[in-house]
Amino acid sequence: MSDPFQARFEAATARAEVWLQSHGFPSTGENISGVHRRRYPLSATFAGHHFALELVLPRKFPVSPPRLRVSPAADYYEKIPHVEADGLLCLFNNGTEFNADAVEAVLEEVFNRAENVLGRPNLEDFFREIQSYWPDSDDGLHSLHLIAEVPDTATALAAVQVKRHSYAGPDAVAVEKWVKNWVVTPRTDLPTIQVPILRLPKPLLPSEYPRTVSDLLALAQQHDVSVHSAIAEHCNTGKGDGLVIIVFPYAGKSLVIGARYPACYLAFKKAVYAGYRKGNVPAVVAIGRARKQLVATRVIRLRTSLGTHEEVHTRGGAGHPFKDKTVVFIGCGSLGGYIAHIFAKAGVGRIHLVDPQLMGWENIGRHVLGAGEVGPSKAAELAETLSQQLPHLDITPHTKNWSELWQNRPNVFLTADLIVSTVGHWNEEHDLNVLARRVTGFPAILFGWIESHAVAGHGLLVHPQLGGCLCCGSTATGEFNRVVCAPGTDTMQQGAGCGDFYQPYGVTEMLPSAALIAQLGMDFLNGTVLESELRTWLGPASTFARHGLGVQESWKAATIATPHGAVYRQPWPIGASCPYCT
């Protein structure tokens, strides 16, 4: 198959060689195979220093920028920031875009940046970008995951090690819960260990990184003898890999890295325990006798990530304010499941999922869960799925009807900040609405439902003090006064079982309503909705037409004004004849 980028590459290469020649560089390159197509050995002087370089043009040059490599790599790697182990210069971040018609400008930028890296190196970058330099270049599979910030006064953390990965937090209970949430197949053979924290007064340069257990012991001996003793004891008699957390200040905050080392079992080696009973040699003696082994035993410097609530949800933009919020979801069907998923991704710290129904094959086409969860309770399976995705959240399933849960555990409701109901059955939601109006301290309720074929959807936030309730806009039998679809357009269908009725709709039609309902709930939690409010998703006019659905007179003007769909917000005052609000 011909390469569609070959002609562009050849044209760009010709222009690049003209540019190289005009700047006094060799313009004759060597063809190479693979992703990179052509290379040019050359030399350059930056800030009075001579550098031997190699310019490499990739297959998609100039959309993909040229690469520069300095040699010998060993003279610069870990001595100058942004130089990789093979001498390649890291000049651009992964979001940098390049103009395919600006070959000369791209080359100018490459050499300007190379001059900054090699001619004016900034050693502060070693500290600022510690996670690029600390991890072993030949072992990116080992990692340390912190489930919480390291307390300023802590001397140790609890940790669980799963294969090549370590998970650490403030206490054993928190770490074990996090790991059990995350591990797909629960295990009972994951012991928690205590991990010492080595606090340093200043950041480490790469030349100061510990490479061996001997280096690690020397670093600990210099800064904290108690940590040195802990490492020595583990080397002597400890089982399994050892782990050390290293903390140092930089730019007003603490940077955290980790190192892992293999079990040495020094006290059980004849050359070490000579003169002592096997396994009973003092650690200080064992360390002294095993110097050669410790010098030869490599430390694995771990890629460290912070998995706190704030860190995980910062990229979502709105997660952090919900860490201390509690939301109860009544109904974990297709609509409720997606809404709960959205709230979890937004970072709601405590979630209760209430639904007595089982997950069936008929559900998987439009549910956030899939075939792997068919059989057990929707609530239980959704809780497990969300906990695996977001193990730092506290998610509890309740496989019973909400009224039964209320009778047995009313505090689940009374300690919540918001109740979200997507049951879609009038009698159930009528009683929930009455309960909210009759019980002092009951939280706000967000009722969410969709109309035929999900062409429209509603979110009604019932504020506990200000505004109307569900019954303020409904008849005694649950007919809603702001319904969108015209009368006579009921599309309920019966399934294979007695009383098994369902509303046909596709997941793409339903998702706008799910997003609308979730946003209304989060606006309330954020404090931007201060009274009862109705929000309605009015789908595109073409969707109504495709399903042969009419529109109520009160909504016809809106469908004309916004033929491609829109969200409508309306205040929800107390109804003049509502028996629960007047």
Greater pLDDT, 48 or 312 = 48
Share of the chain above pLDDT 90, in %: 65
Q: Largest Cα–Cα distance of the chain, in whole Å?
A: 98
Per-residue pLDDT, 317 = 56
Nearest-10 crossing angle of helices 334-346, 378-389: 30
pLDDT at 318 over 80: no
pLDDT recorded at residue 36: 60
At 327, the amino acid letter reads: V
Q: What is the mean pLDDT of residues 337-347?
A: 95
Q: Per the structure block, which two tokens stand in for 510?
A: 């339903």
SS3 content of the chain, % helix, strand, coil (to 5): 35, 25, 40
The pLDDT score that the predictor gives to residue 138 is: 58
Amino acid in the structure at residue 431: D
What is the model's pTM? 0.85
CA dihedral defined by 419, 423, 425, 429, rounded to 10 degrees?
A: -10
pLDDT for residue 186 is more than 70: no
Per-residue pLDDT of 355-406, as tens digits, reads 998 877 777 767 887 677 777 889 999 999 999 999 999 999 999 999 999 9
pLDDT tens, residue by residue, 235-260? 999 888 999 999 999 999 899 999 99
Q: Say if CB 567 and CB 536 are below 8 A apart.
A: yes
d(CA 245, CA 306): 13
Higher-confidence residue of 492 and 403: namely: 403
Residue type at 250 in one-letter notation: Y
pLDDT confidence band for 141 (50 / 70 / 90): confident
Q: Which residue has the higher pLDDT, 156 or 38?
A: 156
Spatial separation of the C-alpha atoms in residues 293 and 369, rounded to whole Å = 52
The pLDDT, as a whole number, for residue 227 is: 97
CATH assignment of 317-571, among 2.60.120.380, 3.20.20.60, 3.40.50.720, 3.20.20.210? 3.40.50.720
Q: How confident is the model at residue 7 (pLDDT cuts 50, 70, 90)?
A: confident
Verify cis geometry, omega within 30 degrees of 0, for the bond prior to 72. yes
Provide the pLDDT for residue 494. Answer: 44
Contact residues for 559 (Cβ-Cβ < 8 A; gap 6+): 538, 541, 544, 551
DSSP string for 315-342: TTSS-GGGTT-EEEEE--SHHHHHHHHH
> Is pLDDT of 495 > 60?
no
| Domain ranges for the chain | 6-122, 133-307, 317-571
Taking residues 83-94, what's their average pLDDT?
92
The reply to whether domains 6-122 and 317-571 share a CATH topology is no
Amino acid occupying residue 163 = K
Q: How confident is the model at residue 499 (pLDDT cuts 50, 70, 90)?
A: very low
Residue 437: what pLDDT?
A: 94
Ranking 50-54, 208-212, 563-567 by mean pLDDT, the lowest is 563-567
Highest mean pLDDT pick, 136-140, 320-324, 476-480? 476-480
| pLDDT for position 309 | 84
Does domain 6-122 fall under CATH 3.10.110.10? My reply is yes
Higher pLDDT, 358 or 189: 358
User: When comparing pLDDT for 41 and 547, which is higher?
Assistant: 41
pLDDT value, residue 459: 97
**Scanning the structure block, which residue is given the tokens 């991704």?**
345
**Tokens of residue 146, six digits:** 């912190």
Who's near 132: CB < 8 A, 6+ residues apart? none
What are the pLDDT digits (tens) for 15-38?
999 999 999 888 787 888 765 688
Pairing mode of beta strands 192-199, 165-169: unpaired
Name the percent of the chain lying above pLDDT 70: 93
In order, the DSSP letters of 423-459 are ---HHHHHHHHHHHHHSTT--EEEEEEE-GGGSEEEE
Residue-wise pLDDT for 513-527, tens only, equals 999 999 999 999 999
| Helix (H) / strand (E) containing 317 | none
- pLDDT at residue 310 in the model: 82
Structure token pair of residue 42: 């050359």
Per-residue pLDDT at 101: 85
Could you list the beta-strand ranges (E) of 251-325: 253-261, 300-306
pLDDT of 544 reads 87
**Mean pLDDT for the chain?**
89
Instruction: With H, G, I as helix, E, B as strand and everything else as coil, classify residue 369.
Output: coil
In sign, the C-alpha dihedral spanning 112, 114, 118, 120 is: positive
Report pLDDT for 185. 57
Q: What pLDDT does residue 486 have?
A: 85
Contact yes or no for 513/568 (Cβ under 8 A): no
